[in-house]
Amino acid sequence: MYTISKETDSIVLICRDCSHTERVNSFDERLGSSRTQAARAMQDHSREKHGVGSVLKSIPKSLLSHGAVVTSQTNNLTGK
């Protein structure tokens, strides 16, 4: 989704799918952890521009149940 780059004066989140960046320093600490805000902003960007945020979150559960269901269904179908 993104990589984290440490620069001399700030931490920068860099999108892996385009050149979009979020600078941790550009977020206001008074509103909460600026690093968390930057991560959230990058997640929003990924979801809006690349459609990955919501998908990534649901992958662990859906992959497990989905894969199991698909596999057993396939086995049943071929078995019969």
Near Zn ion by CB under 5 A, which window of 4-12, 34-42, 46-54, 71-79? Answer: 46-54
Stretch touching Zn ion by CB under 5 A, among 19-27, 28-36, 56-64, 72-80: 19-27
Q: Quickly list H helices, the chain.
A: 34-45, 53-79
The reply to whether 15 sits near Zn ion by the rule CB under 5 A is yes
Tell me the sheet residues that pair with 15: 2
Q: What is the dihedral of CA 47, 51, 53, 57, to 10 degrees?
A: 150
Q: Which of 18, 63, 64, 69 binds Zn ion (CB under 5 A)?
A: 18
Residues near Zn ion (CB under 5 A), total: 5
Q: Which long-range contacts (CB under 8 A, 24 or more apart) does 55-58 make?
A: 56/1
Residues that bind Zn ion (CB under 5 A): 15, 17-18, 20, 49
